[in-house]
Amino acid sequence: MKFQGALIVGLSLLASEASAQLLTPVRVGAETAVDAARPLGKLDCLNNSVRIQVNYTGDTTFNDLQMWIGTDAMTCATATSRTSTTAATCWQIETSTIGGSRSSYADSNFQIPARYLIDPVGDGDCTSPGTLRGTVATNYLSLIVTTSAGQNMVGTALAIPYDLNPPDVPTNVTAVPGEGAVTVSWRATTTTSSTTDDSGTSTSTTTASTDLAGFYLLCTPPAAGDADAGTDAGTVSGLDVPDLTFGDDAGTSSTCPAFSVSDAQLYDTAFFNRYVRGARTSASATSATADNLTNGVPYRCVVVAEDNAGNRSVSTSSQCVVPLPVTDFWERYRESGGAAQPISCGARPGARTGALLACISLVATAVALVGRRRRKP
Amino acid sequence: MRSNVTALAATLAALALPSLSAAQTFELFGSDGAASRHESPQNFAMELRFSPWQPMVDSEFSGSGGGPFLQYFGERDGNGVRTAVRDRLLGALELDWQALRINPIGSLGLGVSVGFSSFTANAPLTATPSRDSGQESALVMVPMSAVAVLRLDVLARRTVIPLVFYGKAGVAASYWWITSGENLARRSAASPSAPTNNAGDFGQAAAGLSYAWQFAAGAMLRLDWLEPRAQRAWDLEMGVNHSYLFAEYMIVRDWERPQLRFGSNTWAFGVAFEF
């Protein structure tokens, strides 16, 4: 048994020496919330860095590690391809743009701005790939090391898939007021495809979008506490309360804040965080509620769709709505003379013994049902 | 005091359930001669129940135009007038301990159940009640009961008629709460004024407990005859002696006390298993 163990260790060492300087880059996430598995999107391209970890074996001496991005896995393997011209298919990522230490293989976590992985031509607007090679494609990150034999690609190129196509724009956006809240509804985003058969008859098919992560609600004026809160809100005077919407009554439309969001603002983190209300909904959601709003203040909202790569598209704005007090069923019941008084399962002053016992009985029943074991004869 | 006693009884009954798992069925008037020698012991029944449900909340109120329940949850006609509340589904689970076998006519036992139902509507704007807001308000109910159950299964056990008749009587309680948007509703000084004890519940979450008497009668169709072998195998592997479809008429009568009324007269349908 000891002999077997020694043999395995010895073979492992031999294998390690044989594969010295074999480097393999691995995408292990980004500085700012980029899941290592999903394609990079426009939000990443404009804002995020991707963290690359180089797995290596053998010698830890660092020999001028370079990173190149190519259009397929082997493009950067040949020296003649590594030209970095606009007509090339392999570009070097400038050393100065790579974050992290490159002093030795032992310290091999690098941060690379996502735009250099997606848009290596380097204009930084994340649109060039659209004319260069399409908005949905895969680039490959190769590692080039200088050795005594010259510059060579080592290890396996890392696939960097990207998708810069925005999701379909949410349509039919409407808003209704609540108490300190606005509920916004929209039509589920769909993709329409059309086919024409041999007879020339065209058939249009509408299907739900599959590349969709969810929706955000952005409303103006921004949340209280923001430096600009309220400054772009319209005046409340002149509100026609029974109709609740601006724009459908003469003389009131000018009091409502306008709200249009540009494509650049969609990816401007500061702007987005300032106006966003609540967390992202599910992909299947068709409505969301912005709450903690101020009653009597007019609001206008837009719906932002986000796909799985982080690309965004924005709807036109909703009509203007004014949150106002509502009457919930409890208030209506008590207003009508209902005699029931509230109690609680919580052991707080005023909670009646009977209610507490009943609450305990409910819990005990559940526990008993779960814990019961059927005894077989 | 009466509510405390009832609640205490329910608590004790629930706490006793774990020990019931080891309990046997006591037999009256000799042993059960109709039971097969290969049949596993039968001590319990379980029902998965579904009912159209509409609590009689408005029975607390008099006068024309209906009470707040109708005015809040009712369906609007073409003129915007709320005419009737649509029934909602009440789903429930009941577990019976068939404590006493009364040979040859049937069994007498104790059953406990818990269910769930809710009513949701868009809250109207306070300033213009004829107009709904985008915010929802819901009345959520969790009816529970503890009942005595008499099942007459002599026909199914002794003849070819696969029917079991039964009756139930006992107490019911419903834990309820009311939501406003995503939160529990609470009244405040800004709420519409209540004619009695106006400020008494300011700030308290709208949740409570109501009590009622419960009676029911129904019939069960034993399904064993459809696939006798499958039923026998199920008994051998899982200990399930019989399976049923059932229909039941249920009467829930609210106690005369200040409470949100949840009583209702309704049908219940479902599947049941004896094991």
Average pLDDT taken over every residue of chain B: 86
Q: Is A87 contained in some domain?
A: yes
Q: The tokens 């397929």 sit on which residue?
A: A72
Whether residue A106 sits in one domain with residue A83? yes
> Do the Cβ atoms of B125 and A327 come within 8 Å?
yes
Range of lowest pLDDT (A201-215, A216-230, B71-85): A216-230
Cα–Cα distance between A359 and A353 in angstroms, integer?
Answer: 10
Lookup: tokens for B123: 């809250």
pLDDT at A376: 37
The last residue of one of the domains, among A268, A293, A314, is: A314
CATH of the domain at A236: 2.60.40.10
Q: Is A346 contained in some domain?
A: no
Contacts with B, A 305-334, CB within 8 Å: 324-334
Q: What is the mean pLDDT of residues A106-132?
A: 69
Cα–Cα distance between A245 and A321 in angstroms, integer?
Answer: 5
Q: Residue A69 in 3-state DSSP?
A: strand
Whether residue A249 sits in one domain with residue A118? no
- Residue B35: pLDDT band with limits 50, 70, 90: low
Whether residue A278 sits in one domain with residue A132? no
Closest by Cα among A215, A164, A125, A167 to A39: A164
Whether residue A122 sits in one domain with residue A187? no
Whether residue A92 sits in one domain with residue A66? yes
Whether residue A296 sits in one domain with residue A182? yes
**What order do you get walking across the sheet with A150-163 strand by strand?**
A90-93, A66-70, A136-147, A150-163
pLDDT at A45: 84
The predicted complex's ipTM stands at 0.86
Chain B residues close to A335, C-beta within 8 Å: 68, 191-195
Whether residue A179 sits in one domain with residue A86? no
Which chain A residue has the Cα nearest residue B16? A368
3-state secondary structure string, A300-358?
EEEEEEECCCCCEEECCCCCCECCCCECCHHHHHHHCCCCCCCCCCCCCCCCCHHHHHH
**Disruptive mutation site among A332, A353, A362 for chain B (greatest number of B CBs within 10 Å):** A332
Work out the angle at residue B66's Cα, subtended by the Cα atoms of residues B65 and B69, and round it to the nearest 5 degrees. 140
- Residue A303: pLDDT band with limits 50, 70, 90: very high
**Fold category of B2-16+43-187+203-274 in CATH:** Porin (2.40.160)
Q: Is A324 contained in some domain?
A: no
Q: Are A157 and A174 spatial neighbours (Cβ–Cβ below 8 Å)?
A: no
> What distances in angstroms separate CA B187 from CA A38, A350, B176, B190, one per listed residue?
48, 16, 16, 8
Q: Is A56 contained in some domain?
A: yes
Chain B residues close to A357, C-beta within 8 Å: 4, 7-8, 10-11
Q: Report pLDDT digits (tens) over B47-70.
A: 999 999 999 999 998 877 789 999
Number of domains in chain A: 2
Contacts with B, A 140-199, CB within 8 Å: 175-179, 181-183
Whether residue A178 sits in one domain with residue A142? no
Closest partner residue to A182 (CB to CB) among B21, B134, B138 is B134
The last residue of one of the domains, among A314, A345, A366, is: A314
* Peptide bond before residue B104 is cis, with ω within 30 degrees of 0: yes
Q: What is the mean pLDDT of residues A51-64?
A: 68
Percent of chain A with pLDDT over 70: 58
Whether residue A176 sits in one domain with residue A157? no
Q: Are A275 and A233 spatial neighbours (Cβ–Cβ below 8 Å)?
A: no
Whether residue A77 sits in one domain with residue A181? no
Q: Residue B110 in 3-state DSSP?
A: strand
Q: Is A330 contained in some domain?
A: no
**Disruptive mutation site among B8, B17, B96, B133 for chain A (greatest number of A CBs within 10 Å):** B133
Work out the angle at residue A272's Cα, subtended by the Cα atoms of residues A267 and A273, and round it to the nearest 5 degrees. 135
**Disruptive mutation site among B94, B125, B261 for chain A (greatest number of A CBs within 10 Å):** B125
pLDDT at A23: 65
Whether residue A36 sits in one domain with residue A6? yes
Whether residue A142 sits in one domain with residue A96? yes
Q: Are A39 and A118 spatial neighbours (Cβ–Cβ below 8 Å)?
A: no
> Domain limits at A224?
171-191+207-314
| A362 in contact with chain B, both atoms CB, cutoff 8 A | yes
Non-local CB neighbours of A241 within 8 Å, separated by 6+ positions: A322, A324, B127, B128
Pick the residue with more confidence: A48 or A109?
Answer: A48
Q: Report pLDDT digits (tens) over A8-20.
A: 434 333 333 334 4
Range of lowest pLDDT (A354-358, B132-136, B199-203): A354-358
Q: What is the mean pLDDT of residues A238-242?
A: 35
Q: Strand pairing partners for B51?
A: B90
Q: What is the mean pLDDT of residues B201-215?
A: 93
Closest partner residue to B10 (CB to CB) among A343, A361, A375 is A361
Closest by Cα among A326, A323, A302, A300 to A314: A302
